[in-house]
A = this chain, B = another copy of it.
């Protein structure tokens, strides 16, 4: 059911001009009273202006302020897919932090398409956002990489702040995640509780984040005697369905003596879990599964998923704080990860 709102006589929103007139003061004074300035304003005037503004339901036109001030209160956020819990958690962090900094965030989705990402950066630059945050890595082999770098650097030159989340491809401010060492720690722990033979399901062609995690995992195994054959590294889309598909292929091909499958992120791992079940096997028992990220839902799948916790919301917050020049944020180094063992990787004796 759809109801049209009652359209009363259209009335343009009150302008500062209206407020000034209503209060009987100049435009300048009205501006100074409402939108803080270094200059003092007679208390009596200020009061009159505030009252007039309230009476007229005045709300400053942010675009006009932006034009006049030459700076906006906007931060632009680019993610691959808003519905993906990894990105929506990061987004939640960015939005929360933006709120405390009285900034407004505008959001766009690249849908994992580098062309689109470039396009979006171009469009969003038109907004003259104070900060631009890019989350989600792109293929390392991407041909538009150069163009993107160019675009971002031009944006920085014009006074913008760029922060990348978990992708240190370009020489820009970055919130780094311990992908490598996190995956390595995971591998060590898994070997520690008795696993020896592993397979990996990783994201598409040369995705930086995925590649790092696999590399770290491999390093951890190498150090502890776990085994991962090259043929047991499966490529699939970096999504739930990708994970499902990867695991299906693995099973169809025959698991052999593989004891544990590490998916390069949790959404894939969750898909993998379902693939195991759909194949009539019991995840955890017949084959163990581990993921990466610790997105909220992995507590609630069965078996609960072993993973590497990444404080995703914190990632978003850090990104913005870093841009805004928070010294702490800059000093904290890479974001800590932490191995979380759960039932999907039961101790193996």
Contacts and interface: CB of A to CB of B under 8 A. Distances in A.
A158 B89 contact: no
A92 B104 CA distance: 18
A4 B173 contact: yes
A1 B85 contact: no
Interface residue range, chain A? 35 or more
Contacts of A176: 1-2
A240 interface: yes
Given A61-B128, A126-B59, A128-B13, A172 B3 contact: yes
A158 B11 contact: yes
Contacts of A174: 1-3
A63 interface: yes
Nearest to A116: B99
A61 B11 CA distance: 26
Interface in A292-307: 296-297, 299-302
Nearest to A81: B92
Interface string A149-176: 0000110111100100000100111111
Q: Interface residues of A: mostly helix, strand, loop or mixed?
A: mixed
Interface stretch (A205-213, A228-236, A270-278): A270-278
Interface stretch (A18-26, A105-113, A196-204, A219-227): A105-113
B10 A157 contact: yes
A125 interface: yes
Contact of A297 (B175, B297, B331, B334): B297
A334 B12 CA distance: 32
Contacts of A42: none
B154 A57 contact: yes
B83 A109 contact: no
B104 A106 contact: yes
A302 B285 CA distance: 15
13 contacts: A6-B171, A7-B156, A57-B154, A61-B126, A62-B63, A63-B66, A83-B88, A85-B88, A91-B107, A105-B106, A105-B108, A273-B300, A297-B300
